Each structure stands twice: as C-alpha cells, then as structure tokens.
Structure 1
Amino acid sequence: MKILAVSDIHGKYIKIIDYLKKNTVDLIILTGDITDFGPNELAEEILNEISSFNIPVLAIPGNCDPINLYGSIDNSKAVNIHGKSVTIKNIGICGFGGSNPTPFNTPLEFDEIEIYDNARRVMEEIKNHEVTLFVTHAPPLGTKTDLLPSGKHVGSESLRKIIEEFQPSINICGHIHESIAIDKIGKTTIINPGMLKEGHACIINIDDSDEDNIKAIPEIISI
C-alpha cells in the first residue's frame, strides 16, 4: 500500500491535485490546517476535489481551521478521523487534530489533559494492529519535528506520552512548518512533511511481502 500524507494546505491545494494527476497512491491522509482560518466552504471544496480521484481520503482539522470544521469534513467525501479510528486492510489508523496551546490563540487548541484523554482513547482502539498510524496535527514534544528556528521545542507533551506508551508504527504530524523532518521516539517513526502549500509531502509504503514482518517505510518528497 502506498500512502500520500500531507499537512498544512492553508487553502492552497493545487500541488496535490497536480501530483495525483500524474501518480498513483492507495490512500491520502491530510493532517490539518486544510484552510487558513476558513471558510468552511473552502474546506469542503478542497476535500471534495482531492477525493475526486476515487482514492480514500482521511482528514483531521488543524489549529488554523475553524473550530466547527469537523462538520465540513463530515459533509465532504473525505473521512473525518479526529478522535476516531479506522482500519484499512491490516493497518489501524487514528487521529487527533488541532494543537496544544499556542501564543496566537488560534481557533482549534486543546489543553494537554484533553489531548491525552481523547487521543489515548482512540489509540486504544487500534493498538493490536500490526501496523498503526497515529495522525496528529501537532507534533510530539522534543523531536526534530517540533523545533522552531529559535531552538525551542513546542510540540505536545501529551502526544509524546501517548507515543511512548503505545509505540505506534508511525506518527504523521505537521503544524511546525520549519520542522520538516523524520525522527524517532523509541520504535515510533515521527514524520513532519512540512507545508503542502510549499510543495512538501511524504510517502509511506507499507511492505507486506513478509507477513511476519510488515514494514511501514516513510519518505519525505517534494511535489
């Protein structure tokens, strides 16, 4: 299975459309900031356009999306996985959108307790799958994926704690535009592909040729 994951569209989605016209993937994952503070109608337009290639699309909102964007995802052809889980073939996928508190008071922020309680609940639903994808907008605290140019780490403490506890195969995140990186927390690979708006994305290939050793192999790409 070939998965295309992108983050931080901020209303500019032509690059993913161009990519999908020329390339084949089996699943698309959007990790938030679909819009740049709205409107909801734009989110539906973007999600429906991406879904028009008849490839399953899973999405969560980001902190710069309107607080009621969940409804726009539900009204589109994409599948909302914020606070939810799905199983596709042998892969368990769950998501949690928005972010931990920022200095900018953006629309969709959660305190760490709320992040932990809700994200942990959905991780419980997929923990027994051989391959697990934890889709978040915010990165976990203290990796290359949450690092500002100043050197400060601004990721979520709760997301890191959940990753340490459950060790999902991959955490796909975004939010911190400057932190395009692949890192590790224990056995979990953390990926921040950067902004789709600037042509960044990642491909995750699920290699199931060996049933006893299924591998999820990530690669950051430009599109």
Structure 2
Amino acid sequence: MRLFAIADPHGNYSRIEELLRIAGNVDLVLIAGDITNFGPDEKALELFDKFRQKILAVPGNCDNESIIKVVEGSKAINLHKVSISIDGVKFMGMGGSNPTPFCTPFEIQECDFEENVSNMLEDLKAGEILVTLTHTPPFGILDTVGDTHVGCKALNVFLDRADLMICGHIHEARGIERSGKTIIVNPGMAALGFAAVIDINTEIENNVPIINVELIKSDREVI
C-alpha cells in the first residue's frame, strides 16, 4: 500500500499536482488537517477534487469544526473520531488540536482526546497494522516550538502501538522519528510544497510491517 500524505495546506493547493507527479502511483491520500485557513469549509472541496484516489482526512485547529459535515458530504472520508479498515490496515483519526495560546477554531481538551482515542483503540484487534492520522503530534515528538513541547499527551498512547503516525500542525517540525515500533511522520506544510510518500508492506516481519517513508518537495513557484 502506497500512501500520499500531506498536512497544513491552509487553503493553498497550488503545489498539489506537482507533488502527486513526484509521488507517482499512490493508493490512498491522507490529509492531516488545516485543510483551509479559517474557512470557508467548502474550500476543502477544491483540494479533494485534485485526487482520484480514496481520501482520508481530519480537520485541523485552523479549520472550523463545521468542515466535518463538508467532508462527510464529499468524495473524501472523514476520519475524525473514526476507525476503519482498508486492505488489511486499520486507520484511526483525530482532528483538531489540544489547546493553543491562539484560540483557534477547533481546539479540544486533553481529556476529550483521551476519551476518543481510548474508544477507538477498543476496536483494534491483536496483530492488526495500525496507522493513525492526527493533526497535532504526540507530546515530545515533532512538536517543538522554540524550546517548548506543545504536542498532545493523550496521543502518546499510540506510541509503540501504532505502526505509523501521520501528523502536522507544527510547520517547522517536518521530519521522521521513531518511538519503539512506531514511525511518526510530519510531511511538512503542503502550502509550501511539502508531502510524504509512504510504502507499507502488509507482510509482517518480526511482528511489524515494513514501512518506508520518503519526504518529497515541489520546487514549483506558487502562483
């Protein structure tokens, strides 16, 4: 399974076609929030129309919570607080962010993150490959602003349980890290021409799937 992952387009979709060309053939598109820049919700449809593949999406803190209804009425699949299986891989999603100093539209208390994540994990079967799609990163990983960690502590329950975590939110934290068996990926800000291509070999080796991640970049000028 080949994934095309983006985060933080913030309503600027001008580099998506070039990123898809660089990525080549992909099976599934994952969008890790901040689809719009404080709306309008319908702007998201412009992004979804760029893909012929199945799309899984969660909102970010700079999206209005009402964008969920737009996603649900579109060709994309809303993964916020949802758990689904596709071709032998379990996908779980959680949009929004833990509280920020900026009072952005879609912020969620840590306790609510914890409750929703716990409910989804009850659906996870032993031995299933797990991919999580969130806007905010787990606390302590790809979550540094200056010298401060600002990630969501409730998401740390996924560490060493999920095989792959895809997140965004922290624009300057583009990268790949590992915690136990879990690979955590921030594809970078799609508005600046960043994305990731991820290959998942669903054949288990030493109790974990083989996952290869490539961070890609478009050099095309934004119009």
TM-score scaled by length of structure 2: 0.91
Partner of 1:19: 19
Alpha-carbon separation, structure 1, partners of 2:121 and 2:68: 19
Equivalent in the alignment of 2:199? 205
Judge conservation of contact 1:30–1:59 (CA < 8 Å) in 2.
Answer: yes
Please name the residue that 1:176 is paired with: 170
Aligned to 2:151: 155
- SS of 2:136 mapped into structure 1: coil
Q: Is the 8 A contact 1:163 1:185 kept in 2?
A: no
Alpha-carbon separation, structure 2, partners of 1:21 and 1:181: 21
Deviation at 1:217, TM superposition (A): 1.9
Per-residue deviation, 1:75: 1.2
Amino acid at match of 1:218: V
Question: Any unmatched runs of 5+ in structure 1?
Answer: none
Letter in 2 for 1:83: K
| 1:136 counterpart letter in structure 2 | T
RMSD, aligned α-carbons: 1.7
Q: SS state of the match for residue 104, structure 1?
A: coil
* 1:216 CA displacement: 2.1
Deviating more after overlay: 88-97 vs 120-129: 120-129
1:105 to 90, 103, 106: 103
What code does the residue aligned with 1:4 have? F
Larger strand percent: 2
Is 1:191 the counterpart of 2:192 in the alignment?
no
**How far 1:21 moved relative to its partner?**
4.8
What's 1:30 paired with?
31
- The 10-residue stretch of structure 1 (185-194 or 131-140) with the greater mean CA deviation from structure 2: 185-194
Cα distance in 2 for partners of 1:196, 1:176 equals 12
Q: Is the 8 A contact 1:8 1:174 kept in 2?
A: yes
Q: Is the 8 A contact 1:6 1:200 kept in 2?
A: yes
Deviation at 1:127, TM superposition (A): 4.4
Shift of 1:188: 1.0
Percent of aligned pairs sharing the same letter: 39
2:74 match: 76
8 Å CA contact 1:92, 1:129 repeated in 2: no
Count of equivalent residues: 216
1:48-127 pair list within 5 angstroms: 49-51=49-51, 53=52, 55-127=53-125
Deviation at 1:120, TM superposition (A): 2.0
Matched, 1:7 2:7: yes
Rounded to whole Å, the distance in 1 between the matches of 2:127 and 2:14 is 34
Question: After superposition, what is the alpha-carbon deviation per residue over 1:59-99, rounded to whole angstroms, capped at 9, x for unaligned?
Answer: 00000001211001011100001000111111100100000
Indicate the residue corresponding to 1:138 in structure 2: 136
Runs of 4+ residues deviating >4 angstroms: 209-213
Tell me, yes or no, if the aligned pair for 1:123 and 1:134 is still in contact at 8 Å. Answer: no
Match of 1:219 in 2: 214
Shift in Å, 1:50: 2.7
Instruction: Please report how far the alpha carbon of residue 126 of structure 1 lies from its aligned counterpart in structure 2 after TM superposition.
Output: 3.0
Q: Which amino acid aligns with 1:147?
A: T
SS at match of 1:125: coil
Superposition deviation, residue 204 in structure 1: 1.0
Shift of 1:128: 3.0
8 A Cα contact 2:181 2:208, kept in partner = no
Shift of 1:33: 0.3
Shift of the alpha carbon at 1:129? 4.7
Separation in 1, partners of 2:89, 2:162: 11
> Which region of structure 1 is more displaced relative to structure 2, 187-196 or 117-126?
117-126
Residues 151-181 of structure 1 deviation map (CA, whole Å, 9 limit, x = unaligned): 2110011111x224x6100110000000012
